[in-house]
Structure 1
């Protein structure tokens, strides 16, 4: 009974102490798409993705209700780093939903404004935000009225200086003056407490990771598929520490300091999900101000690294050469680093000649009939002096020119259609991502690698029937010195049972150093003499590898490799089943340069259809 009363009291006092206007709340999920377009249109870094921030502690004074409820200790403020623009998951600052929506766009504009580095170097946070506000208003004059509306509405919600103690009142007047007249406040007066956070400004001291690697993100990517809640995407502040000694369950002396030290270390086994209450675990994680992460000798991560060691020479695929060296783009230095990656062409050691799997026989027959018609399909050519049928539009234009007073020679007498065989001078290279993430399950019946294997089978059957030149390769990597390039079918190789055996032997492994693989594929495809050259990339996730090839670095290098391919006259196009693809693929390939297959099991059927659509556009079909 006491526990129930306590829970009711906790909910009641928390609701009473809550600040904001929940009925007028706007969430980041609701406006994420237009907000991203707005941010990039105003000059924001197109490589940054928009995501939810994390709540951080502030040092402002809390009212007595908040102290009783134990709430109001944290606040969500906007900030950005080299990978993301972080915005509050929800804004309910104003009683008007439109104002909350406008606040999202104002924060995105502030983050996207190009502020000279010298204007905020070595300045305090209030001067920095004022300068950024001034530059934002100068660059985007259309935001002036929106900003004034936000300031007027927000000033009415701020504490009234006359009701505060002298030192706090001086601070509050300075804050309100800085909002209404940006650039007029040079410093914040000292006071016992910090001022209330200002949601119209960027974070004064944003959280930073303390030397943590994102490698685990790539290893655990398959575990996060399907997560759509904004709370699951929040950034968390962390630090790397040594693993504490096992303290057991006995406390010799129950001093308060010892209790806090004991309670702050929580062993979180990332290798299992067998906790009794996962929602409670997530709530605890949200309440932790900074996570201290230590390496445990029994973690799954260690076993994964062991499993990813290269197989013995007798078990591994056959290397066809010592490999080719390729550069890699360092976006921080804005230069290509020469000879950074070694791409090693490899041939399957265990592939056995085979026929097409039984479950693919029927769809393959249908696709072969469709693609055989591509090479034999005729095309109607307009504007001919003689031909198979009259072009009515051209004839009417011709008669109109004569009736308007011109001579019979005034109009263009090319009035006929002529049917000619369609010439398809086409070369396509399919590059399949064979990294470890393809070992994940699509549903209870199929793995991603099964779907890719079936897709490549039907793709090969289709292109063989069309007569187009094509090659198929796969790739994975283990750091920059070992980028594996699996040769499944070369351009000069016939499609036969041997190639089908190599497709059947496709297996997942290692990581995704995408830039190096694309550069090698570009070299192979660029050597073909075809009129149109299509580079198809089939993937299920972002670029990543064990070394620093992760996050922004991997994305920027991949984008550079794609631009290099375009400059050589190739047409890169990406087919993905990654649910987060819209966060980075528009930056890599452009909005028209990729497609997302929502149901991964549909990929085998969709891939040949996409090829037919793409090549139809290229040849005017």
Structure 2
């Protein structure tokens, strides 16, 4: 009975303390696509990802009902860093849904402004507001409606202590007349949160020393994005605690408001028995602290086993190629920063096309033969190789009828309609391709079938093409697998190399694109297509992660266009819409939502691009 009454009391107090409007809520999942387009349309950094902001404690004065219900301690505010634009996961501040939606759009517009980060928080937000309203006067009406509705929700300065009232007066003045406040008065307690502005002190992860070989592992599969996957937690890195075996508590733990338990986590292990419980526990924590234990030799042993012996590895061609890499923070191209090694399969016996693909290959070849170079006769020409009998007969008929022969051409001229086109296909052979695209096929198997059918189709057109695969293990070991060069024929040897492809390591995409661009630029054809086939973002063990890898890849694509090439990406990554428009442009990529359809879709995409 006591427990039942307690639950009813908790429900009653929580409902009374809740000042949100669930019936008018707008979520980030609903407006995420619009927000991304709006941010870039207003001139925002196209390389930023869109993500949900974690809740942070504000420390400001709360109403007595909120203190009684132990609610209202956290708030979701907007901020941006070098890689991500973080917006509230949901906004239900106002009773009108349109106002909540307008608040999302206003925060996006405010984030697109370029401001001096060294200025105080209240000055920064006023500058951003002024700049946004000057550049986009159409937002002024929405901003005024938001301010008017928001000030009605804030606590009146008359009921606050003197120091907090001075802060509130300053914030209200800055909202109503941006640029009128130069400083925020000090107070004993933090000010009330201002959801119309950017976060005053965004939680940033502590930067620590990175161990050799540390980096984010390749994502094994693309998971469907949900509202829960958008939510991010504040994380920080710390040194390994000394007391790894726990501690002896000489007091009652119940007397503590909260306590933290150290748990050893084996990151490479994906299948945990209590993964759901761990996820729920993580949601209740203010921040996640991660430390590296140098004694975890199992993960290191796993990476060593992934490195094949020289006798078992692919054959090395040449001494390697030095390539530059773009540092987006310094905005410089670092010369000779990467080492690319061209390789060819050592054990690749010539073979025929796999039996399951032969029927599809025959159909594709018959379709693509229509694109092959053809001979065509032009009628009624003033000169040519043969007499046009139809034109001559018409001419004689008109002459005998007294109508005159006219100036009609009497010859047929023969022309050759050639496809002056070269295509280089780069296939991502990173570790993530070892994941399963469907119940019975891995991503690498889907890529292998795609290469087979792509080659069969292009052989029917007579177009010149080359096939390469790539993966990487840091900047000093970018593996560039030659499957078919431009000078080689598509035959059993090429099919043997395609059969021999296997998942590699990581995805240093910029270096592979630069080498592919160099090979393609050497071809004399008037049209040159650089086709990238991938299943995820640029990624490697070192700092080639996140924004760094994205911007290097973008710079490599820009260099390819400067050489007169046409880069195009075909991907099966469900999150590709978050970053590929920044890399290739809105019309420079294609997303195949069902990976198993890639072998059939790839040749058809090529036909559409080169018809």
Same fold (TM over 0.5): yes
State the distance in 1 between where 2:65 and 2:266 align.
Answer: 37
2:304 aligned residue (303, 306, 313): 306
SS at match of 1:187: coil
Q: Please give the residue correspondences for 1:205-354 in structure 2 after superposition, counting only pairs within 5 Å.
A: 205-211=201-207, 218-223=216-221, 225-245=222-242, 248=245, 251-254=248-251, 263-272=260-269, 278-296=275-293, 297-298=295-296, 301-308=299-306, 310-354=307-351
Q: Please give the residue correspondences for 1:387-398 in structure 2 after superposition, counting only pairs within 5 Å.
A: none
Residue of structure 1 in register with 2:129 after alignment = 133
1:124 aligned residue (97, 103, 120): 120
Structure-2 change in CA distance of 1:68 and 1:305 (3 Å): farther
Q: Please give the residue correspondences for 1:481-520 in structure 2 after superposition, counting only pairs within 5 Å.
A: 481-520=476-515
Query: Post-superposition shift, 1:369?
Result: 1.1
Query: Post-superposition shift, 1:470?
Result: 0.6
Query: Post-superposition shift, 1:592?
Result: 0.7
SS at match of 1:512: coil
Residue of structure 2 in register with 1:178 after alignment = 174
State the distance in 1 between where 2:564 and 2:535 align.
Answer: 26
- In structure 2, runs of 5+ residues without a counterpart are 391-405
Query: Post-superposition shift, 1:271?
Result: 4.0
Residue of structure 2 in register with 1:21 after alignment = 21
Structure-2 change in CA distance of 1:91 and 1:528 (3 Å): same
Residue of structure 2 in register with 1:200 after alignment = 196
Q: Please give the residue correspondences for 1:419-458 in structure 2 after superposition, counting only pairs within 5 Å.
A: 421-458=416-453
Query: Post-superposition shift, 1:575?
Result: 0.2
Pairwise CA RMSD: 3.0
SS at match of 1:321: strand
Query: Post-superposition shift, 1:462?
Result: 1.1
1:471 aligned residue (439, 444, 466): 466
State the distance in 1 between where 2:460 and 2:11 align.
Answer: 67
Residue of structure 1 in register with 2:393 after alignment = none
SS at match of 1:325: strand
Structure-2 change in CA distance of 1:601 and 1:200 (3 Å): same
State the distance in 2 between where 1:32 and 1:419 align.
Answer: 57
Structure-2 change in CA distance of 1:379 and 1:610 (3 Å): farther
State the distance in 1 between where 2:458 and 2:535 align.
Answer: 23
Residue range with higher mean Cα deviation, 287-296 or 45-54? 287-296
Determine if the alignment matches structure 1 residue 102 to structure 2 residue 97. Answer: no
SS at match of 1:145: helix
Query: Post-superposition shift, 1:230?
Result: 2.9
Structure-2-length-normalised TM-score: 0.89
Report if the CA contact (8 A) 2:246-2:262 is conserved.
no
Query: Post-superposition shift, 1:141?
Result: 1.7
Q: Please give the residue correspondences for 1:44-55 in structure 2 after superposition, counting only pairs within 5 Å.
A: 44-55=44-55
Query: Post-superposition shift, 1:72?
Result: 1.5
Query: Post-superposition shift, 1:482?
Result: 0.9
State the distance in 1 between where 2:12 and 2:273 align.
Answer: 27
1:599 aligned residue (594, 608, 611): 594
Structure-2 change in CA distance of 1:606 and 1:417 (3 Å): farther
State the distance in 1 between where 2:8 and 2:300 align.
Answer: 45
Residue of structure 2 in register with 1:401 after alignment = none
SS at match of 2:260: helix
Residue range with higher mean Cα deviation, 529-538 or 16-25? 16-25
State the distance in 2 between where 1:204 and 1:286 align.
Answer: 23
SS at match of 2:446: helix
Structure-2 change in CA distance of 1:306 and 1:612 (3 Å): same
Q: Please give the residue correspondences for 1:537-548 in structure 2 after superposition, counting only pairs within 5 Å.
A: 537-548=532-543
Residue of structure 2 in register with 1:160 after alignment = 156
Structure-2 change in CA distance of 1:377 and 1:35 (3 Å): farther
Determine if the alignment matches structure 1 residue 576 to structure 2 residue 568. Answer: no
State the distance in 2 between where 1:547 and 1:89 align.
Answer: 31
- In structure 1, runs of 5+ residues without a counterpart are 391-408, 617-621
1:27-54: per-residue Cα shift (whole Å, max 9, x none)? 1111111211111111111111222111
Residue of structure 1 in register with 2:113 after alignment = 113
Query: Post-superposition shift, 1:272?
Result: 4.0
Structure-2 change in CA distance of 1:75 and 1:375 (3 Å): same
Query: Post-superposition shift, 1:62?
Result: 1.8
Query: Post-superposition shift, 1:66?
Result: 2.0
State the distance in 2 between where 1:381 and 1:547 align.
Answer: 61
Q: Please give the residue correspondences for 1:369-380 in structure 2 after superposition, counting only pairs within 5 Å.
A: 369-376=366-373
Structure-1-length-normalised TM-score: 0.88
Determine if the alignment matches structure 1 residue 72 to structure 2 residue 76. Answer: no
1:6-31: per-residue Cα shift (whole Å, max 9, x none)? 55544443333223211111111111
Determine if the alignment matches structure 1 residue 589 to structure 2 residue 587. Answer: no
Report if the CA contact (8 A) 1:113-1:139 is conserved.
no
1:549-603: per-residue Cα shift (whole Å, max 9, x none)? 1111111111111111111111110000001101111111111110000000000
State the distance in 2 between where 1:608 and 1:576 align.
Answer: 14
